[in-house]
Structure 1
Amino acid sequence: MPEEHGPAKSPNWALQVTPYMWAASLDGYISPFRRGPTIGVEKSFPDVLENLNIGGFINIWGRYDRFVFSGDIMYVDTTDSHSTGSLPAFTIPGSGVIPPGGNIDAKVDTKQFTATLMGGYRVIDRPQFTLDALGGARVWHVSNNVKLTGSLGGMSGSVSYDESFGWVDPLVGLRAFLPLTEQLSLQGQADIGGFGAGSDLTWSAMATVNYVFSDRLSASVGYKVLDVDYKHNGHVYDTRLSGPVLGVTYRF
């Protein structure tokens, strides 16, 4: 989200907070529990919004001299239903083996927390352009409450199960800022990581157009993508969130 205009006019330190809305669509593959069946998910933003219980997004950015800090925090709580079948045999933890050929109706309440924390150094600091080199980590935590109703032949039954898992991805990235006028600017930030330490691969990118209303207040509109490919210990979380963003920035 936007930074102070004109590095030459800036003090040695800056701090800003940007709550924002993200009209994200969702595409990917998810297992609702460990070693469970993998479910394909493809949802537009209206579909995501229909299943949303609560969500929040906030970006924090700071600078002291040429040292910079970037933090982006996301929390989303959704409830969704899926129907799959005919399935191979699989195991529900604590409930035993489900034989092959069954059909499953799954109601999944998912809570996802993601925090991207990065620090770095301003390698280019000019009035007409700045560039920051960044390094850090992205923390993921996913909690699922799953209610399964299954049928096989003439028999049916249901079971509920709670499960949480998480991981940490190392990251490297860049952040660029280009003032166009006293009020208008462009900004882009991208990172890549995982490298098998947490997920196999994760990356994100965001580009915004920013408008300054006052020394304290500005607004941004743009586009953001967050992608992750995590397959470990029976869990599958291979998803991409993408869509427009709209934020309001307050500078301290």
Structure 2
Amino acid sequence: MRRTTLTGMFLAGAGLVAGALPAAAQDWEFRITPYVWGAGIAGDLGTIPGYPAQSIDLSFGDIWDDLDYGLFLFGSARNDPWVIYFDGSVVQTDSTEKIGSPDVDKVNIKSDTSTLTLAFGGTVSQSYNHTVDLYGGFRYWNLDNSYRVYTPGGRFKKDTNADWTDPIIGMSARYAINDRWQAFGAADIGGFGVGSDFQWSLMAGASYSFSENFSLAMGWRVLDVDYDDNGVVFDARQSGPLLGVTFRF
């Protein structure tokens, strides 16, 4: 059955960095980045307790066919050397598979996947053209799935839900190539058996500043999570390009 949930998320570091002013001379700086993440997904998913997990390997094009909507937002608040990061996403997919057997006509699956990341950190290295931050926090996951099975005798419905919270630790960095272009990157690890068994994320890209208050960020991100609890399996790797616009004030 070609069906999965999609999670979108974590543009940590994208267009985040403040200017290299002395900490005493700098007020709070806020950045808001709505973005999109064209991720495919591969791994093992099992969202109905009691049923075995299924191996999947879907490109973003496959997922796009079933995508209802995806909302992604990243934000930061910085007052050197301290910084707060926020990242949230909500994705809904809806798929109907024609079975055509004597017992089952078709199956409909609607999935809602949401994540919320909040982290606090500080600058550990800074110069005129670079900044490196270390941070710690948490990433919350919520999976809602609704199944409809259509048979000659009627329609059967089943809803499932799973949620967990992963502690995370990570690093983000930027390097000013010139007055317009910046390279950026971020990496984190987490889970440690508290929520998922383990999760990691890696992202890298570049941003172009059109003005002091507006920039475009482009990059690539990989997010891998291994969760298995109470019959729900979400052991998957998502990867793909990302694109965002950053508003600074």
For normalisation by structure 1, the TM-score amounts to 0.85
Moved more, 125-134 or 31-40: 31-40
Match of residue 168 from structure 1: 165
Whole-Å separation in 2 of the counterparts to 1:106 and 1:233: 24
Where 1:113 maps in the other structure, the secondary structure is: strand
Q: Is the 8 A contact 1:5 1:179 kept in 2?
A: no
Whole-Å separation in 2 of the counterparts to 1:169 and 1:104: 39
State yes or no: 1:247 paired with 2:248.
no
Q: What aligned pairs does 1:17-36 form with structure 2 within 5 A after superposition?
A: 17-36=32-51
CA deviation map 1:17-62 (0-9, x unaligned): 0001111111121113222231222111111111101111111011
Where 1:199 maps in the other structure, the secondary structure is: coil
State yes or no: 1:235 paired with 2:236.
no
Q: CA deviation at 1:5?
A: 5.9
Moved more, 32-41 or 236-245: 32-41
Whole-Å separation in 2 of the counterparts to 1:2 and 1:32: 35
Moved more, 131-140 or 116-125: 116-125
Q: Is the 8 A contact 2:147 2:157 kept in 1?
A: yes
Where 2:61 maps in the other structure, the secondary structure is: helix
Whole-Å separation in 1 of the counterparts to 2:105 and 2:135: 45
Q: Is the 8 A contact 2:125 2:133 kept in 1?
A: yes
CA gap of 1:133–1:104, structure 2 versus 1, over 3 A, is farther
Match of residue 15 from structure 1: 30
CA deviation map 1:80-132 (0-9, x unaligned): 35699xxxxxxxxxxxxxxxxx9996432100001111111111121121110
Match of residue 181 from structure 1: 178
Gaps of 5+ in 2: 1-13
Q: Choose between structure 1 and 2: higher strand proportion.
A: 1
How many residues were matched structurally?
231
Gaps of 5+ in 1: 85-101
State yes or no: 1:55 paired with 2:52.
no
Match of residue 11 from structure 2: none
Match of 2:208 among 190, 201, 211: 211
- Identity, % of aligned pairs? 35
Whole-Å separation in 2 of the counterparts to 1:71 and 1:215: 22
Q: CA deviation at 1:149?
A: 5.3
Q: Is the 8 A contact 1:122 1:132 kept in 2?
A: yes
State yes or no: 1:65 paired with 2:62.
no
Match of residue 149 from structure 2: 148
Q: CA deviation at 1:70?
A: 1.1
Over the residues paired in the alignment, what is the CA RMSD in angstroms?
Answer: 2.2
Moved more, 237-246 or 136-145: 237-246
Whole-Å separation in 2 of the counterparts to 1:156 and 1:194: 44
Residue type at the aligned position of 2:198: L
For normalisation by structure 2, the TM-score amounts to 0.86
Where 1:36 maps in the other structure, the secondary structure is: coil
